[in-house]
Structure 1
């Protein structure tokens, strides 16, 4: 699949698309999908994965981008060619810089199913051959604060211990009432519904929905029933995104 730097257009939230990976893992993909058939520079793809106890991803290669995995429920065991072995549980995060090349595996921990969110972030062409790297952060190391209308955990950005080669922000937001999210000038981003339901700028928004944003704007979220979202934004590279399976060229 090749994704260009152009963006599909959407007036409001769209539903994610179920994808079944070759190893038997199911995901709800936010983009690219038939409804939104492009990447969202600097973001290559985003999906929520559901791994049954007997499924997973055996050791496989990646290069040319960075991976952020954020656990929603259960645990996921990670091992890689750098010699790292780590298990991430609910609200723990992992970042892999695949750079010039890395191999890793992902399996559910403790014989139990798990679910989480995975984001692929493009590396600029000048940094495609960066040294591969790995870092993780436990839930209690990610800063959490009460804002007007929401509880916000910063997974990436601000005082988070995780950073990427791309300037970006990744927020986990439990909306209690009404909360406003702003995308900075020159950045792009998206909202993804993790659980519950509510509205986004007056549009119905529920689990598995995504709202892509390609210009600076503020978005008003209203909680109806336990609305939890992730709000992700980043500075585009302005370069074509060329995905070839596990590689981003």
Structure 2
């Protein structure tokens, strides 16, 4: 856990609406007024909603990594490395900002888009590393069936994306009951993408976050019990903490 953070709540926390200066609205999991801390090694996590005429023009980042995972529509990415790419649903992008990178994120084809974005702190000795970019198409990401859930690996075994920080990132569609276990010593969180259900016996829905810093396992259950009812879709993210204070200043993590 981040040295300046208090222990995580044992109940789900509703996400908070954040309006960025460019006009983009996001539902942020953390840090928020309800949970005003980072979750070492994670700086922030949010779901973004970009309208056709909005987006993020070219802007700088430094000192951390970004994993973006598309849910709806397409997003055009361009950066100072010369990369130009359109990300579509089920596709992930990984950026190592390191000593500095500039990029833009704009809706593609005149239509809105939505996705998830995770900021991961770089350890002190890696903050001046060379910037880098990689992406993975939906077909590049491993999907497996388990009892009660279908799991796509965005980062981890079965994904070509390899962040500096050791972590796992799964897109989980819970159709019945499923248990998630976080490795010893790691920090994790669950975020509600769609549907309704329970986490550790508590009601859990779209936009909710459930941080785990002490507990190792948590049980999830979907309210949908047949094909006509909604599954509970969550992302389950866990990573090895760096044990360093996270100092975020806007688009930079010092």
Normalised by the length of structure 2, the TM-score is 0.96
Q: Does the CA-based 8 Å contact 1:95-1:134 persist in structure 2? A: yes
What SS does the aligned partner of 1:151 have? strand
Deviations 1:184-241 (A, max 9, x none): 1000010000000000011000000000111241111000132100000000000000
Q: Which runs of 5+ in 2 are unaligned?
A: 224-229
Residue 9 of structure 1 and its aligned partner are, at CA, apart by 3.4
Aligned position for 1:80: 79
1:234 aligns with 2:239: yes
The question of whether the paired residues in 1 share the 8 Å contact of 2:8 and 2:212 is answered with: no
Which residue number corresponds to residue 171 of structure 1? Answer: 170
Q: Please state if 1:154 is matched with 2:159.
A: no
Gaps of 5+ in 1: none
CA RMSD in angstroms comes to 1.0
Match of 2:40, SS state, is coil
3-state SS of paired residue (1:140): helix
Give matches, 1:96-245, under 5 Å.
96-224=95-223, 225-245=230-250
How far does the alpha carbon of each residue in 1:44-88 deviate from its partner, in whole angstroms, 9 at most, with x for none?
000000000000000000000000000000000000000000000
Number of residue pairs matched?
247
CA distance in 2: counterparts of 1:140 and 1:195, whole angstroms? 22
C-alpha displacement at 1:6, in angstroms?
2.0
2:227 aligns with none
Q: Would the aligned equivalents of 1:171 and 1:232 in 2 still touch at CA under 8 Å?
A: yes
Contact kept? 1:186, 1:216, Cα under 8 Å:
no
Whole-angstrom distance in 2 between the partners of 1:214 and 1:206: 21
Within a 5 Å distance, the mapping from 1:46-85 to structure 2 comes to: 46-85=45-84
**1:5–1:40: 8 Å Cα contact kept in structure 2?**
no
In structure 1, how many angstroms separate the alpha carbons of the residues matched to 2:21 and 2:215?
Answer: 37
On the 8 A contact 2:7/2:213 being kept in 1, the answer is: no
Q: What is the CA-CA distance between 1:4 and the residue it aligns to?
A: 5.5
Contact 1:191 1:232 survives alignment (8 Å): yes
Report if the CA contact (8 A) 1:68-1:95 is conserved. yes
SS at match of 1:126: helix
Moved over 6 A (4+): none
Q: Secondary structure at the match of 1:222?
A: strand
Contact 1:4 1:39 in 2 (8 A): no
> Matched residues in 2 for 1:11 and 1:176: separation?
23
1:246 aligns with 2:245: no
User: Are the counterparts in 2 of residues 95 and 135 from structure 1 also a CA contact under 8 Å?
Assistant: yes
TM-score normalised by the chain length of structure 1:
0.97
Superposed displacement of residue 148, structure 1: 1.1
Partner residue, 2:22: 23
